[in-house]
Amino acid sequence: MKKRKATHIPTMKNIDSHSHVRGESIYVDDIPERQGTLHAAVLMASIAHGKIVSINYTKAQKKEGVVRIITSKDIPGENQIGGIIPDEPLFAINDIHFQGQPIALVLATTESIAREALHDINISYKERPAIVDPIEAFKKGHLHIPSRTFKLGNTTNAWKKCTHIIEGKADTDGQEHLYLETQGAYAYPVENGHITITSSTQGPTALQRTAAKVLDIPMHKIEVDVRRLGGGFGGKEDQATAWGVMAALGATVCKCPVKLILHRMDDMKMTGKRNPYRSTYKIGLDKQLNILAYEADFYQNAGAAADLSPAILERTLFHCNNAYYIPHVTARAHSCITNIPPNTAFRGFGGPQGMFVIEAAIAKAARQLGVKSRDIQKQNLLENGHVFPYGQKVEECQAKPTWSALEKKQSLKKIQNNIDQYNATEKHYKKGLALMPICFGISFTNTPMNHARALVHIYQDGSIGISTAAVEMGQGVNTKMVQVAAKTLSVDAARIKIESTNTTRVANTSPSAASSTADLNGKAVEMACQALRTRLLNVAAKSLAAKPATVTLQEEVVYTNNKKTKIHWEDLVQLAFLARVSLTENAHYATPKIHFDKSKEKGHPFAYHVYGTAAFVVTVDCIRGTYEFDAVDVVHDFGTSMNRIIDLGQMEGGLVQGIGWMTMEELLYNKDGRLLSNALSTYKIPDIYSVPKEINVTFLNTDGNDMAIFRSKAVGEPPLLYGIGAYFALLDAIQQFNPAFEPEIYHAPLTPEKVLMGLYG
């Protein structure tokens, strides 16, 4: 590996940490209310499939404090909010396709009156049978888009060369985002039919564009402003739009400010989640455990509308081979229409669902062949020169380096010996071990979305204000933007302010998603600051009568030929201002090199890939079925991390979120499409007691990649993928106690109840 000199990037704490800890950070619901604000509550369908026979609003309308009830009839433009496919009405008219589907909006003088009024609305339905199972939907031909197939080599021929062929099934349930801040927006009319919407959204432009369509006004009349989010995780990439549009519609109809904040249980009922998947696979290996062929069918439970599911489906295919080289692959994916709320983006975006299936295939193969999963995993790791099923070459591959570093650091042999000893002596407790390598592609798979802009103002006093398309949602992107500007302009970070994300200052943005926000916006900030720096140095050169090439800026001071001058940052800015030189720059960055041809399902869709390997050790209580993760060890390819504190936070948070998905978060709809896990009493997420007792993260400092900002690799989604290892560590422990146990379907999550059944099943 080439050694690179560490560049000097000042690392810093999350710039929001101070205001977060003091409770001073502003979220939508914290915005001081304007006079005359109305509060909104959403009327939703209580059935999953059927027709509205009648609705009677009379009693609710007469209720004191109720100002107006808004339905599809009040929409000036289109009753349509579908992002990729126009298949989702803002308000249902006659047909109901999922429980929780919005029907109307009640506006009242207080929130409690608006919510109480919902009970005064009488609806009668004609219910029809609901479909909640994606395979049932598939068999009926209910698909959002035609099925897609990724192909490498020729599986049909390859089966003949395989010594071992194993077939099986693997299912993953959905996952509730459970952002701390529920969905919400606050809209108010400005003069001349203009409207401002403050929203908790990852996609301000999506909200602006959709509101324009629904209100039938041009986009420039709508300003969407986002300060920060109390978490998004993909749940607000597309699904923040509806609430923002409703608030804007209310504000337009009533000509007064309208605030709409979802209560937790309503948010859980109405919004989509991670797509559950059901899958079937066939895997073939040779005598040396090389995986020769892999076929899989992925049945995505997309829900009642397409939302982002077609794009999510694509990422399932992109990641179907995880970090393994398989010369012959045929992977088919089907986006199935069901009667549950439209499912949506969730950290990993279909990737984890695809990766679980190959891991299940390897685990089942290992059992049948009497070897360890990790023997097969290790044997098949990607290397430079390999090719992904979608045609991109494997470059700067860190699959083997992270695996070996983990092996070395943790001496797997020793760990396994300790576990074997423990399991031999303990009767009622068993330990299990699993390794989980990961590979995740960085870029929106939809190439046109990979761009961002930054608007940088240097004010006359030397302070700096920066606007980008990046939405801060706790991931620390604003802190990274400060670092980029501080380094590029050689100024103190304290001079820099990151403004809210605002469609009037930065237009036509992609959502903050796909782990790409820091890369795309960071590059734009870097470009803008670089241009300003050059411009300012020319001013300095003129003032010093020096050649521009000899003038530099170091820690806020101008140098000529490496000699300090008297010109400080603030003097320099003054000089430029008086010389009528622009202190503002707007830069546009579009990821170079990437492309993808959907007609061939081949191309080079990703700027680069992120790799890593994790080891999970779990202890199962074989009387109760409960378990604790003793330790998770991770060796992760961060590139040259520009902020270890933030990157470690992303690693720990993502890892635990992934473990939650695989072990305890049981999202249940009944056969009538009713959400059973609709509160925190019925849907368990990891808490401080359920996190692994130890999380040891090793930063594998690699070169990084030029397309990563400061060669610091994207870190948002990849850590979640490690969580898949939790399932297989648990399965290993169960099988230590009950060697005969073999699940008919590998089905996550492995809740304590399911573990118990496995122990005695």
Give the residue numbers marked as catalytic.
717
- Shortest distance, CB of residue 349 to ligand MOS, whole angstroms? 4
Both tokens assigned to 180: 């701390």
Complex with ligand MOS: residue 196 or 300, whichever CB lies closer: 300
Q: Which is nearer to ligand MOS, 289 or 514 (CB)?
A: 514
Count of residues that interact with ligand LUZ, criterion CB under 6 A: 12
Structure tokens at 72: 């599809």
Asked if 237 touches ligand MOS (CB under 6 A), the answer is yes
> Which one of residues 80, 109, 446, 463 is an interface residue with ligand LUZ (CB under 6 A)?
446
Copy the structure tokens of residue 388.
Answer: 């992904």
Decide: is 390 part of the binding site for ligand MOS (CB under 6 A).
Answer: no
Q: How far apart are CA 635 and CA 637, in angstroms?
A: 7
Gap between the Cα atoms of 244 and 246, Å rounded: 5
Q: Is residue 513 at the binding interface for ligand LUZ, with CB under 6 A as the rule?
A: yes
202 touches, from ligand LUZ, ligand MOS, none (C-beta below 5 to 8 Å by class): ligand MOS
Distance (Å, whole) CA 308 – CA 300: 12
Q: Which is nearer to ligand LUZ, 233 or 294 (CB)?
A: 233
Smallest distance from the beta carbon of 233 to ligand MOS, in angstroms?
Answer: 7
Nearest by Cα to 106 from 98, 94, 97, 116: 116
Interface mask toward ligand MOS for 560-579; x: CB under 6 A? --------------------
> Residues 330, 336, 342, CA angle at the centre, nearest 5°?
130
Size of the chain in residues: 761
The answer for residues whose C-beta is within 8 angstroms of residue 662's C-beta and 6 or more apart is: 723, 724, 726, 727, 748, 749, 750
Given candidates 402, 445, 503, 677, which one binds ligand LUZ under the rule CB under 6 A? 445
Q: How far apart are CA 200 and CA 181, in angstroms?
A: 8
**Number of residues near ligand MOS (by CB under 6 A):** 10
Name which of ligand LUZ, ligand MOS, none residue 346 binds, using a CB cut-off of 5 to 8 Å depending on partner kind: ligand MOS
Give min distance, CB of 152 to ligand LUZ, in A. Answer: 20
User: Which residue in the set 97, 274, 315, 328 belongs to the binding site for ligand LUZ (CB under 6 A)?
Assistant: 315
Quick check: 713 and 637 in contact, CB under 8 A? yes
CB count in 10 Å sphere of residue 241: 29
Window contacting ligand LUZ (CB under 6 A); options: 91-99, 441-449, 560-568, 616-624: 441-449
**Cα distance between residue 251 and residue 508, in whole Å:** 23
Contacting residue, 57, 299, 349, 669, with ligand LUZ by CB under 6 A: 349
H/E stretch holding 536 reads: helix 517-544
Shortest Å, Cβ 237 to ligand LUZ = 6
Which residue's CB is nearer to ligand MOS, number 327 or number 342? 342
Site for ligand LUZ in 184-243 (CB under 6 A): 234, 237
The residue (of 435 and 473) whose beta carbon lies closer to ligand MOS is 473
- Among positions 488-527, residues that touch ligand MOS (CB under 6 A) are 513-514
Does the protein bind ligand MOS through residue 346 (CB under 6 A)?
yes
- Is 239 near ligand MOS (CB under 6 A)? no
CB of 517 to ligand MOS, least distance (A): 8
Q: Is 514 a residue that touches ligand LUZ (CB under 6 A)?
A: yes
Q: How far apart are the first and last CA of the chain?
A: 49
Structure tokens at 466: 């920066």
288, 289, 291, 297 alpha-carbon torsion, rounded to 10° = 150
| Spatial strand order in the sheet of 557-560 | 551-554, 557-560, 563-568
**Cβ of residue 149: shortest distance to ligand LUZ, in angstroms?**
19
Tokens, residue 552: 């530099």
Candidates 240, 305, 345, 454; binder of ligand LUZ (CB under 6 A) is 345
> Tokens 């009156």, residue?
113
Binders of ligand MOS among residues 708 to 727 (CB under 6 A) are 717
Q: Which does 643 bind (CB under 5 to 8 A by kind): ligand LUZ, ligand MOS, none?
A: none
Residue 267 burial (CB < 10 Å; 0-12/13-18/19+)? buried
**Residue 347 in contact with ligand MOS, rule: CB under 6 A:** yes
Point out which span in 191-199, 270-278, 308-316, 425-433 binds ligand LUZ (CB under 6 A): 308-316
Cβ neighbour number for residue 200 with a 10 Å cutoff = 30
Nearest approach, Cβ of 594 to ligand LUZ (angstroms)? 11
315 binds, among ligand MOS, ligand LUZ, none (CB under 5 to 8 A by kind): ligand LUZ
In degrees and rounded to multiples of 5, residue 77 shows phi and psi of -105, -130
- d(CA 98, CA 121) in angstroms, rounded, equals 19
Question: Shortest CA distance to 613 belongs to which of 715, 719, 515?
Answer: 719
**Integer Cα distance of 523 and 712 in angstroms:** 12
Of 99, 172, 183, 202, the residue at the interface with ligand MOS (CB under 6 A) is 202
CB nearer ligand LUZ, residue 410 or residue 515: 515
Of the pair 231, 758, the CB lying nearest ligand LUZ is at: 231
CA distances in angstroms from 737 to 237, 416, 656, 722, listed in the order given: 43, 16, 26, 25
- Output 37 or 446, the one with its CB closest to ligand LUZ: 446
Q: Which does 311 bind (CB under 5 to 8 A by kind): ligand MOS, ligand LUZ, none?
A: ligand LUZ
Structure tokens at 31: 């915005």
Question: Residues near 750 by Cβ (< 8 Å), separated by ≥ 6?
Answer: 662, 663, 727, 730, 731, 758
Q: Which does 185 bind (CB under 5 to 8 A by kind): ligand MOS, ligand LUZ, none?
A: none
Residues forming the site for ligand LUZ (CB under 6 A):
234, 237, 308, 311, 315, 345, 349, 444-446, 513-514
Residues forming the site for ligand MOS (CB under 6 A):
202, 234, 237, 345-347, 349, 513-514, 717
